[in-house]
Amino acid sequence: MLYAGSCLCGGIGYQVDGEFKSTSHCHCTMCQKQHGAACGSYGNISVRQLEWRRGQELLLLHESTPGVFRGFCSTCGSSLTWANQVETPDRIAIALGTLDTPYEQKVTKHIFTESRVKW
Ligand SMILES: [Zn+2]
Ligand SMILES: [Zn+2]
């Protein structure tokens, strides 16, 4: 499987080669803030599966906790990536909402549900 994705303004484009190793809806308060939504939805892959097709220079990284970097587009603000570069430097998570190729499977797990929103 080959998945294509991009940010809201289209400046950043990427490609994922192969299937996601796992997927999750993350209900932690940091994902709520970053995504401006009830949760952040991610597909976890090996960094070797990810190829930036355009605009990688537009990607900014916010270190939300030590070693954890959240990537977003400096033009439009789209949340694109999550990575723990200390504990799992060979893994990266892609925000599923930025996929252009439809992802047709169910997300496998909900995490940090203790901070799940009531609305
Ligand atoms: Zn953008
Ligand atoms: Zn989270």
pTM listed for this prediction: 0.94
Distance 118 CA to ligand 1 centre (A): 30
At residue 66, the pLDDT reads: 97
At residue 53, the pLDDT reads: 98
- Number of structural domains (the chain) is 1
**Closest among 12, 13, 20 to 4, alpha carbons compared:** 13
The token pair at 64 is 């939300």
What is the three-class DSSP state of 46? strand
Distance 73 CA to ligand 1 centre (A): 5
pLDDT tens by residue, 5-37: 999 999 999 999 999 999 999 999 999 999 999
- List the CATH number of the domain containing 21: 2.170.150.70
What's the domain range around 69?
Answer: 2-115
Give the residues across from 111 on adjacent strands.
Answer: 26
What is the three-class DSSP state of 31? helix
Q: Are strands 13-17 and 91-95 parallel, antiparallel or unpaired?
A: unpaired
Q: What is the mean pLDDT of residues 83-104?
A: 97
Distance 32 CA to ligand 2 centre (A): 7
At residue 75, the pLDDT reads: 98
